[in-house]
Structure 1
């Protein structure tokens, strides 16, 4: 079968190649992939790929072989899946605990944009606790995670200020109810909760805007610059504040329940994935470059014809 493999070359990070079809284990279903989403974090993984690793964590398609242990969706089910890797391919073996069945009203292209970004947003807000009436500052907001976070938080009653480098990239965030600024320094007021995904100088600037006993959750370092914090800076404003690291993968259970929640919200028109680019999968290298250079708003989805 055809699949994209890592080249280890920063100029052209992936190439299409012939690989052996996957052999599903007892708790895995074989999915014919119709579409997959690429994430900016994966572009960083592709810089120094592990031997034998293939990229691909967000897929949607059709179950063509059910799990041998009887778990999970039946043959013929349309599904969204979150495999650990190797999803940028014609077929993927996916643990049934990382699959959710799609209703007719959720298109495959839309579903493919849900797993990594959607799970991150859902679990971040769960970690933060109740957000109704709280003032939230969100950095790095114009990617897939930022759009999900903004819609979920504003619909839950939060007051969201989203940081987006350009007006064009921040346009949809404003439509979703956020106040959009281009820099952390422009954010007005203090915030009960800060969701920080860029690192570098933005993290200490954001921390300075935290209300006393507020919480800053750090969940990414998109700038790829280290963040330096001055402990005594806490006494200048964010007294007794909490700084917490978050990883979306830090969960004790399977992904399927949260995937089903995301699918249900989309089906009920309560969550609207922001898909900035859809293209044939032959253009995967091109879209990876666009995503890395922030030329795409929200998610990018590739379709397998």
Structure 2
């Protein structure tokens, strides 16, 4: 079968290679991949790929071999999946606890856009706690996670301010009900909750705009600049602020993925897909995603025709 493997070349991060079809573990199903999504974090990992690493954590497709232990969906079931790796291929082996069954009304493009970004958003908002009536600041908001966080938080009753690099990248967030600014220092605080994913100077600037007793959840460093906090600056800022480190990982993923699929089916969650293309365009799409030329998610199709 065909799969995409890392090249180590920033200008063309992946290339096609012939590979044996995966042999599933007893608790894994074999999925014929119809579509897969890219994540910006994967573009960073591709700069210095680990030996043996096979990229790809977000897929949608059809079960062609059910798990030997009897768990999970049967042959012929359409699914969204979150494998540990190896999803950018014609076939992927996925633990059944990381699969969700797709209804006919949810297409493969939207389904493939859900796993990593959607699960991150769902678990991030659980970490933040009840948001009804609370003022929330979200940095790095125009990527895949940011769109999900915005729609879910506004739907839960939050008054959300989103920080994006440009007006164009904030258009969809405005439509979802967010107030959009382009610098953290332009955000009209104070905020009860900050969801911070940029790092560098953005985190201390966001911290300075919080209410006393508020919570900052730090879930990324997309700007790739370390954070520096000055103790004496904090003395003049809000008191008793809590900073929480967050990472989405932790199986099982299937229940959260199923919840996201239900929200899409019910019309309460709308994946923002900035590009849908044939998987022969994966390398150039990765470069565009890394350079922030794609808003929301990028989804690639193995079947040959973009939807």
Deviations 1:84-141 (A, max 9, x none): 1000000000000000000011011100000000000000000111000110000000
Aligned to 2:277: 279
Offset at residue 12 of structure 1 (A): 1.7
Instruction: Say if 1:67 and 1:96, in contact at 8 Å, map to a contact too.
Output: yes
1:232 positional shift: 2.5
- Matching of residue 120 in structure 1 with residue 120 in structure 2: yes
Look up the SS of the partner of 1:198 in the other structure.
coil
Q: Secondary structure at the match of 2:177?
A: coil
Write the distance in 1 (CA, Å) between the matches of 2:43 and 2:245: 22
User: Alpha-carbon deviations, 1:171-201, whole Å to 9, x = none?
Assistant: 0000000000011011012100000000011
Output the aligned Cα RMSD: 0.7
User: Any idea what the Cα deviations from partners look like across 1:14-36, whole Å, max 9, x if unmatched?
Assistant: 10110111000100000000000
Partner in structure 1 of residue 230 of structure 2: 230
**SS of the residue aligned with 2:64?**
strand
Give the TM-score, by structure 1 length.
0.98
Residue 295 (structure 2) aligns with: 297
Residue in 1 that maps onto 2:92: 92
Q: Tell me if structure 1 keeps the 8 A contact 2:83–2:93.
A: yes
CA distance in 2, matches of 1:110, 1:214: 34
Residue in 2 that maps onto 1:62 = 62
User: 1:9, CA displacement in angstroms?
Assistant: 2.0
Deviates more, 1:94-103 or 1:232-241: 232-241
Q: Which consecutive unaligned segments of at least 5 residues does structure 1 have?
A: none
How many aligned residue pairs are there? 303
* Map of 1:30 onto structure 2: 30
1:237 is displaced (CA, Å) by 2.5
Counterpart Cα distance in 2 of 1:168 and 1:239 = 36
Shift of residue 274, structure 1, vs aligned partner: 0.4
- Give 1:4 shift: 0.2
Instruction: Kindly indicate whether the alpha-carbon contact (under 8 Å) linking 2:11 and 2:287 is maintained by their aligned counterparts in 1.
Output: no
Equivalent residue, structure 1, for 2:195? 195
Mapped partners of 2:114, 2:217: distance in 1: 22
Work out whether residues 57 and 116 of structure 2, in 8 Å CA contact, stay in contact via their aligned partners in 1. yes
Would you say the 8 A contact 2:6–2:54 is kept in 1? Answer: yes
CA distance in 1, matches of 2:126, 2:76: 33
The separation in 1 between residues aligned to 2:287 and 2:177, in whole angstroms, is: 30
Question: Is 1:184 the counterpart of 2:190 in the alignment?
Answer: no
Q: Does 1:83 align with 2:93?
A: no
Query: Structure 1 runs of 4+ off > 3 angstroms?
Result: none
CA distance in structure 2 between the aligned counterparts of 1:121 and 1:35, rounded to whole angstroms: 21
Three-state SS of the structure 2 residue aligned to 1:212 is strand
In 1, Cα distance between the equivalents of 2:74 and 2:92? 15
TM score, norm. by length of structure 2: 0.98
User: Partner of 1:79: helix, strand, or coil?
Assistant: strand
In structure 2, the residue matched to 1:264 is 262
In the TM superposition, what is the alpha-carbon distance from 1:236 to its structure 2 partner? 1.7
Contact in 2 for aligned 1:43/1:292 (Cα 8 Å): yes
Equivalent positions of 1:136-151 (< 5 A) are: 136-151=136-151
Contact 1:211–1:237 (CA<8 Å) still a contact in 2? Answer: no
8 Å CA contact retained: 1:234, 1:240:
no
Structure 1 residue 13 displacement after superposition: 1.1
Unaligned residue ranges in structure 2 (runs of 5+): none
Show the counterpart of 2:12: 12
CA–CA distance in 2 between the matches of 1:92 and 1:280? 18
Query: What's the CA shift for 1:233?
Result: 2.4
